[in-house]
Amino acid sequence: MDVSNNVILIVGAMAQVFFAGRSITQWWVSEKAGEIMSPTWFWGFSLIGSIFFFVYGVLRLDLAIVLGQFLNFYIYCRNLYFKGAWDAFPKVIRLFILFIPFFILGYLFMYYPDAFKTVFVNKDIGLGLLILGMLGYLLFTFRFIYQWFISEKLQQSKLPVGFFVISIIGSLMILVYGAFRKDIILLIGYTGGMTLYIRNLMINYSKPIRKS
């Protein structure tokens, strides 16, 4: 795919800006409330960041990123529904949003068919490293599946403690993967994210101290 490294970095940086925005917003609201919160903006930023990161993964020919974003995208939409923000969009807009991942895949398949062959057979990534990256992203995907399961059970958007525990483990795996791939976007994004995941656990476990 004839795309300059600068363009790829810009797309990746935009994804991390929105992901950082969601984490900072969630952390700030949680600090003020004294407990783990799930603000609407967290899911809105997640949705926008996912679009950028999805494109970044394909441009980088990185199967681990591509697979990790596809399912998460729809979990973000579901949480926006629980927050009452999803229905605020006209039906046509909602349908358009739901098809965005397919639009991206369709466009790339039509105009850059060889890109998908390279995504699945990337000689620049060894099998062991690819497995490590995929396991890390699978954990990151699973944390949202876990979060979605809890939210469906409660019928409200909720960020459980387990979400942040899984996030920390997944971050460590992806940081190792990113270091071997020399991917500055992954290294910056997941280092900052892990710091806020740890802080959320601290907020949660300090609750009994404040109440006593």
Name the residue range of residue 160's domain.
5-211
Q: What is the model's pLDDT at position 212?
A: 40
Average pLDDT of the segment spanning 23-30: 94
pLDDT band per the 50, 70, 90 thresholds, residue 95: very high
Give the separation between CA 14 and CA 79, rounded to whole angstroms.
22
Q: What is the model's pLDDT at position 28?
A: 96
pTM of the model: 0.81
Angstrom CA distances, 178 to 42, 124, 159, 185, 190, stand at 24, 13, 26, 8, 9
Which pLDDT tens digit goes with each residue over 104-142? 777 767 776 665 666 556 666 677 887 888 788 788 889
Scanning the structure block, which residue is given the tokens 């062991």?
128
Domain count within the chain:
1
Scanning the structure block, which residue is given the tokens 């949202």?
144
Angstrom CA distances, 102 to 54, 59, 73, 98, 161, stand at 11, 16, 11, 8, 32
Give the separation between CA 15 and CA 9, rounded to whole angstroms.
10
Which pLDDT tens digit goes with each residue over 187-208? 888 888 899 999 999 999 886 5
Scanning the structure block, which residue is given the tokens 């949480």?
79
- List, as one string, the DSSP characters of 150-184: HHHHHTS----HHHHHHHHHHHHHHHHHHHHHT-H
Which pLDDT tens digit goes with each residue over 32-51? 999 999 999 999 999 999 99
Which pLDDT tens digit goes with each residue over 49-86? 999 988 888 787 776 677 778 888 999 999 999 999 99
Give the separation between CA 53 and CA 13, rounded to whole angstroms.
9
Hey, is 95 helix, strand or coil? helix
Is there a contact between 15 and 65 (Cβ–Cβ < 8 Å)? no
Question: Across all residues in the chain, what is the average pLDDT?
Answer: 85
Report the interhelical angle of 40-59 vs 63-82 (nearest 10°): 160
- SS3 percent helix, strand, coil of the chain, rounded to 5, is 85, 0, 15
Q: What is the model's pLDDT at position 210?
A: 47
Q: What is the model's pLDDT at position 166?
A: 95
**Which candidate, 143, 184, 134, places its Cα nearest to that of 164?**
143
